[in-house]
Homo-oligomer: A and B are copies of this chain.
Amino acid sequence: MAYYILDESKIIPYLLSIDTLRSFFGTDKLEVSEIGDGNLNFVYIIRAVNDLKKALILKQAVPYLRIAGEGYPLSRERMTYEIRSLLIHNTLIPKHVPDVLYADEAMSVVVMQYLDEHIIMRNGMIDAVVYPDFAEHMGRFLAHTLFKTSSLYLSSLEKRDLMEQFVGNAELCALTETFVFTAPYMEHETNEIDPLIEPEAKALREDHDFKVAMLGLKYRFMNQSDALLHGDLHTGSIMINTEETYVIDPEFAFFGPFGFDIGALVANLVMSWVSHFERSKDKDYQSWILETIVVLYERFEKEFLLLWSESEQSALIEKGFIADTGLAEYQKSFMKDILQESLGFAGAKICRRQLGIAGVADIRGIEEPHSRARAEKMALSIGTYLVKEHRRMSKITDLSDYLKEMR
């Protein structure tokens, strides 16, 4: 089907032209409403008027940034990679990925499960909501999605075939390269720096050690193709309630370093922890966050190694190639590398959120300017430390211990 933009009037005829969706809704009268908070794409809820629980989400990419308008072109093919990633992640760990009912790469459209009982995790964390199973859920999500798209699990041909499906997502990779690893640490028109932290921003722009370390992380992001990443795994890409956790919006999906998704998640938990010194001042909530970081990482690591122990033959390790003691030694340094890299990427993600175009509501949403600036400075200090020192850290509690010492 040739591409066209679905406005509200075209959505119902489009849906009813597709067998699966027609049988989903039956003969019910339908209503369409736009969800206003899509930054990049148009997102609609389609419901049966007489049965509001019978509802689906339709998401369509347009060849520009939705939030900025047609003057800001962005390839709509990003939806191709979102669709591919959703389908693959859904196969690998269905419990934490919405069901996809229909996908159409040519139309840049995906139709999926409506998560009506879940909210964006960032908003929940701003309100200091505890999610008791989040660490367990996301530890497993990370282990399964990363391990099972890596050379530790796939055959050589399967891995390169999968890479071929994502190597075209260059435009979105370039956005990350610019806005996470580059622009925030130099004079750049896109930066949004709070005047109250300009001295700290300037110090970072002149910090050679920080920049050398940042180049190392950026190089790794660009040239290390460990596994299929979500590519933008912050707390705004997670729909959650106290029982369930779903990962959405993988349009940045590409083959990159193991630590990038892990680091993104850790960074956003750390920023929430920082924000609550100013927001709730709820020490119990902050303790829960620190514990969650540790449990999340340990759960990831345990599950990753469990999957590894079950994988007898992969692109990397031919059955019988290495004895258990040798393998254990290799795994130890392999896992340490993932940990360090994750902390380094977490640092980059934290810094860019203080200086660059895209802040996080947890911190930038703090209304009182001096309170906000205190949070920004604290976050920047943590991020800088992680970028510069991640190669000296060897376990996840090195991070939580460091944070506990901060105040």
Residues of A within 8 A of B (CB): 151, 155-157, 159-161, 163-164, 167-168, 170-171, 173-174, 177-178, 182-183, 185-187, 208-209, 211-212, 215-216, 218-219, 222-226, 315-318, 320-323, 325-326, 329-330, 333
Contact = CB atoms under 8 A, between A and B. Distances in A.
Contact of A222 (B159, B161, B177, B218): B159
Copies in the complex: 2
B157 A215 contact: no
Contact of A182 (B177, B178, B215, B318): B318
B316 A215 contact: yes
Contacts of A209: 326
Contact of A161 (B170, B177, B223): B170
A223 B178 CA distance: 23
Greatest chain B CB density within 10 A among A160, A168, A186 is at A160
A335 B178 CA distance: 24
Given A161-B170, A211-B326, A222-B316, 10 more contacts: A151-B219, A164-B167, A178-B318, A186-B320, A208-B329, A212-B326, A216-B330, A219-B316, A223-B225, A224-B224
Greatest chain B CB density within 10 A among A170, A186, A317 is at A170
B156 A173 contact: yes
A208 B323 contact: yes
Q: Chain A interface mostly helix, strand, loop or mixed?
A: helix
16 contacts: A151-B223, A156-B173, A156-B174, A163-B167, A164-B164, A167-B167, A174-B315, A182-B318, A186-B320, A208-B325, A208-B329, A211-B322, A212-B326, A215-B321, A218-B316, A224-B225
Given A208-B326, A222-B315, A225-B225, A171 B157 contact: yes
Contacts of A317: 215
Nearest to A152: B219
A183 to B, nearest CB: 8
B177 A170 contact: no
Which 6 A-B pairs give the minimum distances between C-beta atoms?
Answer: A160-B170, A208-B326, A156-B174, A211-B322, A212-B330, A164-B167
A219 B326 CA distance: 15
A330 B318 CA distance: 36
A215 B330 contact: yes
A329 B170 contact: no
Greatest chain B CB density within 10 A among A174, A182, A212, A333 is at A212
A373 B112 CA distance: 65
